Amino acid sequence: MKRVLGLAVAAFISVAISGSAFAQDQIIYVGNLINDAASGPSGPATIIVRDGKIAEINRGATSASADAQVIDLSSKTVMAGLIDLHVHLTGDPGGDFWRETTEPAEWGVVVGAKNALVTAKAGFTTVREAGSSQYSAFSLRRGTADGVIPGPRIIAAGPALAIVGGHGDVSGFTEDVNDLLTSGYACTGAVQCAEKVRKASRAGADIIKITATGGVLSQQGRGLEAQFTNEEMQSIATTAHSLGLKVMAHAHGARGIEAASRAGIDTIEHGTFADEAALKVMKANGTAMVPTLMAFKGVSEGLGKGIYTPVVEEKIRMTLNTVGKAVASAKRLGVPIVFGTDAGVFEHGRNAEELQLMVDAGLTPREAVASATTLAAKALDMENEIGRIAVGYSADLIAFDGNPLDDVTVLEKIDWVMVRGRIID
Ligand SMILES: [Zn+2]
């Protein structure tokens, strides 16, 4: 009993110590400060971080109080941490779809803890978890928020809503195995889909993820068009919004994208075959596009190696010629383009490679950087908390060499990261 009590006291003390780390000011000497993508580099500065937030920003190097923790980044560029609106931290890449039968949801937390660190070290201080097995992402979210494990702030969807046997539900096994593996989030009809939204909300979802159309990596050769009916998608969007939640929809086919936007979905993920008509509807409804170009780069690297089943290989080849074209059209038509990668489909930590793919697709470096900071923050309704360096904002900071507004690839090598005032190392 005494021993147990001793452990409890020790645990209490360690919590108290890690809590008191925030009592000390952190003073950061910055070589070249970028407040946000719009304003650009402004030279040397001093940032004072207090209780996980940016308390002061001063030009040049100002003196530190005696008890402050000094962080010398005077040879580095410092800007707000990057935001990835589409990751799957709880999974690693691979085509072995049968692994669903052998790996429990709890394993996702372990994989996720590893990937949370890798992702934060790559400069991503906030990520949106776009679908995980059961509630593994919710435990991860708590782990990084409480500082139990190092990683980014996590906005988590939990399991995705799908049609029965559609992309995001189970398929490719015998019927009895499909039944055993189902997440409990497949739905049919407006009423049942509304119920699943409420169930996800009750379980702790920050956002509702749906698979609005067929997908590339599921074991079906039925095309990439709409899977939910209009009534089902409207019900999902209305119910989610009534709970204060946004909806992100995986969507490839043009008519499926158009239908999702009309139904009130907030962001279209992938948007691969978005045509002029679909993009005009998105523009009219204020729907943003999350292109996830890295997903296609990642899977294309695995083609012809026996990683994917034949039906999946064919779908990958079908999409590759079109990838990126919708981004240029979206820009021309004024559709907001926000940063998201689908990390987990490719190796976590390569997220920043998406920036150059966006530039190749027609964005300026400044637009690409804004998409991963201020615009992504806005898509999360967190534009007053993250996405720029300003007083009162969360101390989510990254340091590196060079100017990403000239060359976005400098963000592929990040030297130092802070999330909510905690240094990631
Ligand atoms: Zn995804």
Print pLDDT tens along the chain (425 aa): 334 444 444 444 444 444 445 578 999 999 999 999 999 899 999 999 999 999 999 999 988 788 899 999 999 999 999 999 999 999 998 766 677 788 888 999 999 999 999 999 999 999 999 998 889 999 999 999 999 999 999 999 989 999 988 887 877 788 888 888 888 999 999 999 999 999 999 999 999 999 998 887 777 666 778 889 999 999 999 999 999 999 999 999 999 999 999 999 999 999 999 999 999 999 999 999 999 999 988 888 888 888 888 888 888 887 888 888 899 999 999 999 999 999 999 999 999 999 999 999 999 999 999 999 999 999 999 999 999 999 999 999 999 999 999 999 999 999 999 999 999 99
Beta bridge partner(s), residue 48: 27, 56
Ligand 1 center–CA 147 separation, angstroms: 26
Tell which residue, 420, 386, 415, has the closest CA to residue 399.
415
At 22 the pLDDT is 55
Cα 232 off chain centre by: 25
Ligand 1 center–CA 248 separation, angstroms: 10
Beta bridge partner(s), residue 78: 33, 399
At 221 the pLDDT is 64
At 64 the pLDDT is 79
Ligand 1 center–CA 349 separation, angstroms: 15
Tell which residue, 205, 127, 213, 217, has the closest CA to residue 159.
205
At 323 the pLDDT is 81
Ligand 1 center–CA 270 separation, angstroms: 8
Residues 51/22, Cβ–Cβ less than 8 Å: yes
At 320 the pLDDT is 81
- Which position has the token pair 């292109």? 291
Ligand 1 center–CA 209 separation, angstroms: 9
Ligand 1 center–CA 283 separation, angstroms: 23
At 6 the pLDDT is 42
Ligand 1 center–CA 169 separation, angstroms: 13
Ligand 1 center–CA 18 separation, angstroms: 34
Neighbours of 150 (CB within 10 A): 18
Ligand 1 center–CA 25 separation, angstroms: 39
Residues 77/403, Cβ–Cβ less than 8 Å: yes
Ligand 1 center–CA 84 separation, angstroms: 12
Strand order in the sheet with 153-156: 82-87, 124-129, 153-156
Cα 170 off chain centre by: 23
Ligand 1 center–CA 131 separation, angstroms: 7
| The two three-digit tokens of residue 236, written as one number | 């999902």
> Whole-angstrom Cα distance, residue 297 to residue 28?
37
Ligand 1 center–CA 102 separation, angstroms: 21
Which burial class, exposed, middle or buried, applies to 367 when counting CB atoms under 10 A from its CB (0-12, 13-18, 19+)?
middle
At 12 the pLDDT is 43
